[in-house]
Structure 1
Amino acid sequence: MLAGCLVLLAAGLVAGVRALGQEPTVTLLANWTGTDERNLRATVLDPFARTHHVHVDYQGSSAESQVLGADVEAGTPPDVVVLTGPGELADYARQGQLKPLDGLLPQAGFGASWTTPLDGHVYWFPLKADLKSIVWYPGGTSARQRAAAARQPGQWCLGMGSGATSGWPGTDWIEDILLQRYGPDTYQRWARGELPWRSAEVKGAWTAWGRLVGAGGDPALVRRALKTPYQDAAEPVTRTPRGCTLEHQASFIRNQDSWKRADGRYEPSARLIPGAKADDAWEVSGDLVALLHDTSPARALIRYLASAAAQRAWSARESGFSVSPDAQPAPAARGADWHRSLAATLLDDRAVHCFDASDAMPPSVRDAFAEATIEYLAHPDHLDTLLTNLDSLRLAHGLTWLQSVCDHADAPGGRETP
């Protein structure tokens, strides 16, 4: 009875301290919900709270861009945010909403494509990274079978649905085709807003994607792609007979039930993209941490999330990968073969890593690009109009374009459209 009373008393004291505002609190907005949120809390946030005695008020939302925009407009933004788009973060930085992270990150730092400086300061860093230039297939599928499947639009597992951000699986495809066909220099010129959408290279990437997945072709196939949420795209892989065989998707998709049941394996997308010529170039993405309120609890959380311990703990759950050189576990503790090989590619200094181009673009261009892929999939004859509209957006006044999205880039910083 005494022990029970002590537990209740302790709980009451904790609640009372929080109610009185005496326990430091930091607010965090990110896109992780469900299993990912539980992993984040168990492996990262709860250990931070115990060690630093700071309460983390976490909000997870699949529409975090919209939530953040509304909060900023209302004057109540979170202390710390995790976003997938450096282009969106650059926009907030130019508005004066973000605080520089100078002095808060470890000396080893992260690669150039992950912490692109803006106006001489670093405003974000990756908590989680993923590889995108890959194609998944069921275990036991031979190279000849994969090559044959790649020539059949119906054998590509494709789901374009993603709520407010629907269409991004299509942007990933087009970006990767451009990268693999024309290399990092052309890719970066386009991501900087310098290469027109109506250029032969960019238009060719669109039409190549259209041929691969059957844009404007079989109505049932197009309808399936448009109506299917991206996380359910591979469900036909588990059917008998299979409804599809290949999925061009980022490394995180391996944790979906369909690919677990199918013993999902992967190969570089360059092997299956017609006309691919790039040498060891990879499209990557990341969940990027940024600071909006420069408070002691918020700075403590930033330092912790950038630390090797936090990065290693999050990566260990195989929810994603860390690209911090100091955070890599011992070889014996790196999990499944597919996870180890993906991690090695992300950390390979000899490879070129280019950040997801649409995520690096200004938000208005990014969103229009995603919407255009949906329109193109159903109506490929609208392509010229879609590209003309995107070029008009590219030239709009006041947009912030990052000048470096690939490793070994020669133009750090950002520029604003005059």
Structure 2
Amino acid sequence: MSAPPGGPATAAPAPRRRPSRRPVRVATVVASCLAVLAAAAVAGVRTLGHEPAVTLLANWTGGDETHFREAVIEPFERKYRIRVDYQGSNAESQVLGADVEAGTPPDVVVLTGPGELAGYARQKQLVPLEKLVRREDFGPSWATRLTDGHVYWFPLKADVKSIVWYPADVGAQELRKAAGRPAAWCVGMGSGATSGWPGTDWIEDILLQRYGPAVYERWVRGDLPWDSPQVKAAWTTWQRLVGAGGDRELVRRALKTPYQSASLPVARHPRGCVLEHQASFIRGRPAWQQADGRYVSSAELIPGASAPRGWEVSGDLVALLHDTPQARKLIRYLASVDAQRAWNEGESGFSVHAGLPAAADPGSAWHRSLALTLRDPQAVHCFDASDAMPPAVRDAFAEAAIEFLAHPGRLDRLLRSLDTLAGTPGLTWLPSVCDGT
């Protein structure tokens, strides 16, 4: 599961209690009211004869929203004389669900979850993009063709997840010794309504590196049971690495710490944790900037994995809900080389657009290296498993990761529960999440 990139992060739920869904229900009610008001405001502006407008919902807030507005939205507005009514929310899934239920969805949405988008496509809420976007510009793992033969999304921003960050002054021998000490890992499970996703990232990546893309794909498609030996081994490997159920203070800190703050001890004196299994976007956090963060492939530190068997990746995916002239122009623009370059300049992320050669990346050495990894045609890229799963399974997976971290003895029960949920009729599963397989 991918992080909401902007805004404050809150702590994960307490370890002895399963996360309540009440905050989500409250958020949904509030979002429904806001959606009705927003729709009325937009309709009023259009009725008054102002310039054409397009509504856009994404999860960028704070500094990310400012960058998106200045680098991407404002150039579009100047060029096409079309106003973009942008809404950024850290509870984007809940807001979108409320908007769709109220019959007032945005024209364009940017989501991190292809599994969620596939569900909307099945409900006929999304517009196929073949006439607007060249699939070959992004590749099959990024612009997935669903079973109906259509493509409904493409990435504006991409990140690599199969990596571990460490300070520049930590040598290779010290790095490998640290990997065997749970206290050396920077872990923060908090992320508001989506708390737990850092744990799912761990488990997904361990499965990929130990057993390869074919096993990973079977699991993400719902064909490999959660209680299979491979999946169960991924959970127990994570347990040993981070000390799940062990040192009470260590576990408490991991459960209470927002993911954005997990790396703070890296910059303290004396230094606390020194390793963080986290996506490429975390390199922009102050602690890793101060420590001059470097990275290694997670396969180098995961027990039972000798070399990268694939790279877990994530992305912010653009989809079209209303087929208006203004929305079509925005879709074409967001898929263009110019917009992709503008959003990803300044090391704010990566583009996988085929028209942007990775070798020409203007960033630092680590940024250029990861850009090459993302665009390497010989490498296997597998989309974040939980993001690709049906939302109900994704959310239950994140909750299970929180509970397991505190109580690993409950693993069998948690896996049985996930198997039961995954077997629910009517869920939408992606046909494929890995390229090169």
- Per the TM superposition, whether the score is higher than 0.5 is yes
Is 1:392 the equivalent of 2:415?
no
Number of the residue aligned with 1:185? 214
Structure 1 residue runs without a partner (length 5+)? 1-15, 410-418
For residue 60 of structure 2, give the secondary structure of its aligned residue in structure 1. Answer: coil
For residue 295 of structure 2, give the secondary structure of its aligned residue in structure 1. Answer: strand
For residue 137 of structure 2, give the secondary structure of its aligned residue in structure 1. Answer: coil
Distance between the aligned counterparts of 2:227 and 2:168, measured in 1? 39
Distance between the aligned counterparts of 2:150 and 2:134, measured in 1? 15
Report the alpha carbon displacement of residue 361 of structure 1 after superposing the two structures with TM. 0.4
Distance between the aligned counterparts of 1:288 and 1:328, measured in 2? 20
Contact 1:309–1:327 at 8 Å: present in 2 too? no
2:87 to 56, 59, 70: 59
2:342 to 310, 313, 332: 313
Is 1:140 the equivalent of 2:169?
yes
Is the alpha carbon distance of 1:19 and 1:329 closer, same or farther for their aligned partners in structure 2, counting shifts above 3 Å? Answer: farther
* C-alpha RMSD over aligned residues: 1.4
Distance between the aligned counterparts of 2:268 and 2:121, measured in 1? 47
Distance between the aligned counterparts of 1:271 and 1:210, measured in 2? 18
For residue 398 of structure 1, give the secondary structure of its aligned residue in structure 2. Answer: coil
2:386 to 358, 364, 378: 358
AA of the residue aligned to 1:341 = S
For residue 28 of structure 1, give the secondary structure of its aligned residue in structure 2. Answer: strand
Distance between the aligned counterparts of 1:280 and 1:381, measured in 2? 29
Structure with bigger gyration radius: 1
Percent identity, aligned pairs only, is 70
Contact 1:30–1:60 at 8 Å: present in 2 too? yes
Is 1:213 the equivalent of 2:222?
no
Contact 2:386–2:394 at 8 Å: present in 1 too? yes
Structure 2 residue runs without a partner (length 5+)? 1-43
For residue 254 of structure 1, give the secondary structure of its aligned residue in structure 2. Answer: helix
Distance between the aligned counterparts of 2:133 and 2:318, measured in 1? 11
Distance between the aligned counterparts of 2:181 and 2:143, measured in 1? 39
TM-score, normalised to structure 1's length?
0.92
Report the alpha carbon displacement of residue 240 of structure 1 after superposing the two structures with TM. 1.1
AA of the residue aligned to 1:313 = A
Deviations 1:87-116 (A, max 9, x none): 000000001111100111136421111111
AA of the residue aligned to 1:289 = V
Report the alpha carbon displacement of residue 325 of structure 1 after superposing the two structures with TM. 1.1
TM-score, normalised to structure 2's length?
0.88
Number of the residue aligned with 2:434? 406
Distance between the aligned counterparts of 1:305 and 1:88, measured in 2? 20
Is the alpha carbon distance of 1:285 and 1:257 closer, same or farther for their aligned partners in structure 2, counting shifts above 3 Å? Answer: same
User: Which stretch of the first structure deviates more once superposed, 234-243 or 275-284?
Assistant: 275-284
Is 1:195 the equivalent of 2:202?
no
Distance between the aligned counterparts of 1:154 and 1:19, measured in 2? 60
Report the alpha carbon displacement of residue 279 of structure 1 after superposing the two structures with TM. 4.2
Deviations 1:155-206 (A, max 9, x none): 0000000000000000000000000000000000000000000000000000
Number of the residue aligned with 2:152? 123
Deviations 1:49-74 (A, max 9, x none): 00011000001111100000011111
**Divergent runs of 4+, >6 A:** 16-19
Distance between the aligned counterparts of 1:405 and 1:191, measured in 2? 8
Deviations 1:365-413 (A, max 9, x none): 000000000000000000000000000011100001101100024xxxx
Distance between the aligned counterparts of 1:105 and 1:394, measured in 2? 32
AA of the residue aligned to 1:217 = G
Deviations 1:66-89 (A, max 9, x none): 000011111111000000000000
For residue 400 of structure 1, give the secondary structure of its aligned residue in structure 2. Answer: coil
Report the alpha carbon displacement of residue 334 of structure 1 after superposing the two structures with TM. 1.4
For residue 115 of structure 2, give the secondary structure of its aligned residue in structure 1. Answer: helix
Distance between the aligned counterparts of 1:354 and 1:73, measured in 2? 31
Number of equivalent positions:
393
AA of the residue aligned to 1:199 = S
Number of the residue aligned with 2:373? 345
Instruction: Give 1:167-182 correspondences, 5 Å limit.
Output: 167-182=196-211
AA of the residue aligned to 1:85 = G
Contact 1:321–1:343 at 8 Å: present in 2 too? yes
